Structure 1
Amino acid sequence: MTATAVNARRLIFPALMLVVGGGWQAFTGIAAIAHGGYFTAPAGYAFEFNIAAWGWVHLIVGVFAIAVGIALFSGRPAARLLALILASASLIANFLWLPIEPGWSIAVIGLDAVVIWALATAGGDRP
């Protein structure tokens, strides 16, 4: 088995979790854009943007996470690096979204942490 095939097998779990997390993120974005009145920011929240703007942030991060998750199935190092960046961006976006939708944010933050851990520990063959 080639080194690329071994790396691809080690990245199946984080790739799948990134696609699932990206889907959750995209659906949150669509819900915030379509039904912004459902989500409300607490008074005095430091990152108080328009809810539709937060929706666009979540939708964009989610769509990119899905695309990078699919690319991660190839096992290429560039896809792995992009996946780490996207999972980190998703984690930060959901941390900032935490006061608006705490339950959903905690679930996605946990999923992103698992993806980052899986990507960081799925090392390839080292000499």
Structure 2
Amino acid sequence: MAGWIGFAGILMVLLGGLSVFEGLIALLEDNYYVVTPSGYLLFDITAWGWIMLIWGLILALVGLALLGGASWARWVAILLVSINVFSQLGFLGNTNDTVWLLITLTLNIIVLYALIVRWHESQRELQTR
């Protein structure tokens, strides 16, 4: 697998794993995520936990498809990572999760960079092999 495509695939699997852990924490530890006066959830914590768990699995599967060389996975990954940026903004109101937000947003942006800006370099590398 070409460098940037493989890198994006590995980061997608990592992002999916992080989302799975967010979902598991919401499901197993009821008081971990507390709604603050500056923010609110559209779902209860259990529903949000299931959504994040399923979302994380989808992200990881698309990341594995990227690693496997599936051509459809590039555009699906770009769409899902773009949506994932907004799902991670749910942590914006809580000052305790600022570092978490910065890490996940940075990883999302790196994946987008690898899939959009560096795609042609990776494609040339794949064709010369």
TM-score using structure 2 length: 0.80
Q: How many residues were matched structurally?
A: 118
Root-mean-square deviation (Å): 1.8
State the alpha-carbon separation in 1 of the partners of residues 26 and 5 from structure 2: 31
Residue 26 (structure 2) aligns with: 32
One-letter amino acid of the structure 2 residue matched with residue 63 of structure 1:
L
Partner of residue 96 from structure 1, selected from 90, 106, 115: 90
Contact 1:98/1:106, CA 8 A, preserved across alignment: no
Q: Deviations over 1:68-92 (max 9, x none)?
A: 0001012232111111122112111
Q: Is residue 38–residue 93 contact of structure 2 (8 Å, CA) maintained in 1?
A: no
Work out whether residues 15 and 73 of structure 1, in 8 Å CA contact, stay in contact via their aligned partners in 2.
Answer: yes
- In structure 1, the residue matched to 2:108 is 112
> Which residues of structure 1 form unaligned runs of 5+?
1-7
Secondary structure in structure 1 of the residue aligned to 2:72: helix
What's the counterpart of residue 58 of structure 2?
Answer: 64
- The residue identity in structure 2 corresponding to 1:97 is F
How far residue 42 of structure 1 moved from its aligned partner, in angstroms, is 1.1
